[in-house]
Chains A and B, each alone.
Chain A
Amino acid sequence: MHDAVLRIAGLRTQFRTRQGTVDAVSDVSFDVRRGETVALVGESGSGKSVTALSVLQLLESTGSIADGSIVFDGRELVGLSEKEMRDVRGREISMIFQDPSTCLDPVFTIEDQLVEALTIHGTARSDARGRALELLRMVRMPDPETRLNAYPHELSGGQRQRAMIATALALDPQLIIADEPTTALDVTVQAQILDLIRTLQAETGAAVLFVTHDLGVVAEIADRVVVMYAGRVVEQGSVFQVLKDPRNPYTAALLASMPGAVAGTGQRLTPIEGVVPSLLDMPSGCRFAPRCPHAWDRCHEADPPLAAFDLNRESRCWLEVDGAVDGVGTAEVVG
């Protein structure tokens, strides 16, 4: 077996709503190996952020893990007490969030917030101050001495995200979960931050679980990719394989809807028709069937299993199970 730092198996996370309990994600399984970057990809509402938050058990109070296992570094996290989870958070697994303008506490300085990340886990205050400056240098913060005493509102979006990344790196975690860390930033800044994350990962050797909806970002940063749709994993494999030769109709549709695929060719983008189904009203068969150009009777009747093929590649589609391995979109299969 390969050396997984994080192994999620059969994860089901529920939310209590007025209409009853719903599964935001179910039957989610994937691994993150030491030092690798795994991209978790999907549309809004696909459950990718819920999956990420489940790992650290930072879900809102209405959400909870109902089933499954999350093994980190050989240790089961599901079922740990809140106090035991606190020791994991920030020290062994840290997290970078989407919008750096709302994710830093506005009334404390950058130094306070960096020092706090260290002292919570027992670093002496005097050592923490020196380490804070070191961390800002690590994330290439311009003029780090001055920025230490700045408040979040005095920094630009990119600088704030650098400060967030510095906080995440504070205790040299084995795994960093980045939840859409570039989505709220300007395009030019996005590239810088991606570059920074890549460089820092090479320097620190931490594994990264990178949550994003942007396949362009995936190609730049990830080793492997896990595609989610409506609370399920629908495809996973190496970035090269998945982007070049998607096996699942959903992944294929997602790729076709990307501007990059047809940029400069003058062709129109291909949108995915319809919307992601509501968690309260899931289709009985395959969850993508109502929007799938290849769906046939069976797809509406039964939910396909996640089928493994090749080494380390999986896809959730009846096309795989039925042995139609020629790939999607071929007329023979659909007919």
Chain B
Amino acid sequence: MIEYVVRRILSGLIVLFLLSTFLFFVMRAVPGDVVRLQLADAGSVTDERMAEMEAELGLDRPALAQYASWLGGVVRGDLGDSLWERRPVTEMIIERFPVTFELAFLSIVVAVGLGIVTGVASAIRRGTVTDDGLRVASVLGLSVPNFFLALLMITSASVWFNWVAPLSYRRPWDDLGVNLQQMAMPAIALGVSVAAAIARLTRSSMLEVLGSDYIRTVRAKGASSRLVNYKHALRNSLIPILTLIGLQFGALLGGTVILESIFGLPGVGSMIFRAVEQRDYPVIQAGAILYGTIFVAVNIAVDITYGLIDPRIRRS
């Protein structure tokens, strides 16, 4: 098991290396110039000022040399400085990460809670109106993009209920009530499509397990349907659901980039969004490494959890 985890971590590191290398060169190939953008902001774009600033930011050096010094820094834990804010990216991430963590956490709670409850309800009421309704709802949830749902939620809340979440961000430990008002809509918008995917898989996984021989054995013992459904069927259905949660976590992280921007949350996602607009290369690269690391870590955690659920995996 330990050997397996170590192997997974190593392959994760290779993925991260390839990802950041790819991103480093692609971002520099994309049209748009950070120097020009900054000078335009300041009001005067001259060739002289541009050359001066390029040298100042180290952008005059050959791309490979820039890459080498950036990579050297990353290995030592230094993700470089933001080209705009002129301060360490690490510092910015530390400030903003709690916001993104809270959003991702709440979304996954919404997704798993809603998804599993709906899926189980659908499976045990197979073929009924409830089942049909829930299946239509999950296809709908899967088809509506999260940013569109977010906009719908904001407009409908303001138009019909005259309600807008407090605008300036509060951290949960400063004012939990305001914080949750601000987090509720983005977390739901982000969680719904993942919930829909989980619901569909939970339904089919449960139905497969419910048709199996060992469920019939449990029924032959005189078990109630509650015992059959929740103790035996749900636990046996969890493995594919967990796999899906791990994979969907990537989509969820990607969603934070757009949704934090829409809802004005000062998290890592909105930081990445702005960095892409401004061609703030070190910030984009650091964001990619952070999200990549989280995704890899979540999937390793999922693999370890398999063993807790299924003894056949634990002991092999």
Contacts and interface: CB of A to CB of B under 8 A. Distances in A.
Interface of A: 56, 58, 60, 86-91, 94-95, 97, 99, 102-108, 116-117, 120-121, 151, 153-154, 164, 167
A105 B224 contact: no
B218 interface: yes
Q: Which of A56, A94, A105, A151 is the most central at the interface, judged by chain B CB atoms within 10 Å of its CB?
A: A105
Given A99-B213, A102-B212, A104-B214, A116 B221 contact: yes
Given A107-B310, A120-B227, A102 B222 contact: no
11 contacts: A56-B220, A86-B224, A99-B213, A102-B212, A102-B214, A105-B214, A105-B218, A106-B311, A116-B223, A120-B223, A151-B315
Contacts, number: 73
Contacts of B224: 86, 120
A88 B220 CA distance: 9
Contacts of A164: 217
Contact of A88 (B217, B222, B309, B312): B222
Contacts of A153: 311-312
B217 A103 contact: yes
Contact of A106 (B211, B214, B219, B222): B214
B232 interface: yes
Contacts of A107: 235-236, 309-311
Contacts of B311: 106-107, 151, 153
B216 interface: yes
A94 B309 CA distance: 29
Q: How large is the interface on B (under 10, 10 to 19, 20 to 34, 35 or more residues)?
A: 20 to 34
A97 B218 CA distance: 11
Interface of B: 211-224, 227, 232, 235-236, 309-312, 315
B222 A90 contact: yes
Q: Which of B219, B222, B224, B315 is the most central at the interface, judged by chain A CB atoms within 10 Å of its CB?
A: B222
A3 B60 CA distance: 102
Nearest to A121: B222
B219 A89 contact: yes
Nearest to A60: B211
A117 B216 contact: no
B145 to A, nearest CB: 37
Given A86-B222, A103-B216, A151-B312, 13 more contacts: A58-B220, A86-B223, A94-B221, A95-B217, A105-B218, A107-B309, A107-B311, A120-B223, A121-B222, A151-B315, A154-B315, A164-B217, A167-B217
Contact of A97 (B211, B216, B222): B216
Q: Which of B212, B216, B221 is the most central at the interface, judged by chain A CB atoms within 10 Å of its CB?
A: B221
A103 B222 contact: no
Nearest to A86: B222
A164 B217 CA distance: 9
Give 5 closest A-B pairs by Cβ, nearest first.
A90-B222, A89-B222, A90-B221, A102-B213, A95-B220
Contacts of B232: 105, 108
B236 A106 contact: yes
A154 B312 CA distance: 9
Nearest to B223: A120
A89 B221 contact: yes
Nearest to A150: B311
A104 B235 CA distance: 14
A282 B315 CA distance: 51
B220 A89 contact: yes
